[in-house]
Amino acid sequence: MTKNDLEFYNVQADRWWDANEKIYALYHLNRPRFEFFDRYIENWQGLTALDVGCGGGFSCEYMAKRGVKVSGIDLSEKCIQAARNHANLNQLEIDYRQGVAEKMPYNNDTFDAVICVDVLEHVADVSQVLAEIHRILKPNGIFFFDTINRNFKSKVVMIWMLENILREIQPGVHDWEKFITPEELTQMLESQGFNQVEIQGFDMFGSWEVSNPVAFLKEKLDIYREYRETRIVPIKINSNTSVMYIGKAVKSGELP
């Protein structure tokens, strides 16, 4: 099986905004993500923001409806076209471009904020992507991200359970070896010139400490049942970074 198989996103592009498709569950992650992001930006109106790895445009449209001047970039031309079509349908002005995160077509000091969600675990060169994000952010601009931790628990949950057993994620989409620990990402961010790094758990699975096996199994079944009924993942922002985590970092420097 091919790992980190990004062809999945090309195949899904035309169905990105179909509420009956599994991929649409990603749309519902906007609310908990921006509950975290809003801790650091209270008013998004009029800001310039880029979504790196924007897919079909879930986060771009979410920001555009808040009055943000939005750009989005993605490796998949089919996803970019789907995003453009949906934005046009909803009369939203969003600058979508096809390209790679390691070499983005934007000038230095362009954006007030850059978001990169569900993406860092897929890119070819994480450090180069972070360098590019640092370059295109304005001084004191904020980088928001989420990604997947690399440990035995994330292999069990993300690969064995969600991909191989439940098939809620297309098998082969992830490569466990490309997952990134919070410590590794913090070090890479700081080496690229970011500071004020803050990381929290992006917890959709609850605790995995099994003190009571019956209660543990019931909790997990309840979480999965809720997801199957609503396609909305019950996310909590907390200290549990063991599977997924969310964070922010600031490009140091003074505005000119």
The tens digit of pLDDT for each residue in 214-244 reads 676 777 677 777 777 777 777 889 999 999 9
Please give the pLDDT value at position 7: 84
Handedness of CA 113, 120, 154, 219 (dihedral sign): positive
Please give the pLDDT value at position 255: 41
Distance CA 161, CA 179 (A): 16
Distance CA 146, CA 69 (A): 22
Which CA distances in Å does 216 have to 22, 25, 196, 207?
25, 24, 36, 8
Q: In this structure, which amino acid lies at residue 1?
A: M
Looking only at the bridges linking them, the beta strands covering 111-117 and 48-52 are: parallel
The tens digit of pLDDT for each residue in 178-193 reads 999 999 999 999 999 9
Please give the pLDDT value at position 22: 83
Q: What is the mean pLDDT of the chain?
A: 90
Do residues 204 and 244 touch, judged by C-beta distance below 8 A?
yes
The tens digit of pLDDT for each residue in 135-150 reads 999 999 999 999 999 9
Q: In this structure, which amino acid lies at residue 159?
A: I
Q: Does the global pTM surpass 0.95?
A: no
Do residues 233 and 29 touch, judged by C-beta distance below 8 A?
yes
In the chain, domain spans: 7-203+241-251
The tens digit of pLDDT for each residue in 59-109 reads 999 999 999 999 999 999 999 999 999 999 999 999 999 999 999 999 999
CB within 8 A of 33, min separation 6: which ones?
Answer: 59, 115, 117, 144, 146, 202, 246
The architecture that CATH gives domain 7-203+241-251 is 3-Layer(aba) Sandwich (3.40)
pLDDT at 256 over 50: no
Look at phi and psi of residue 9 and say left if phi exceeds 0, alpha if psi is from -120 to 50, else beta: alpha
CB within 8 A of 169, min separation 6: which ones?
Answer: 22, 158, 162, 163
Do residues 68 and 49 touch, judged by C-beta distance below 8 A?
yes
The tens digit of pLDDT for each residue in 13-67 reads 899 999 888 888 889 999 999 999 999 999 999 999 999 999 999 999 999 999 9
pLDDT at 8 over 60: yes
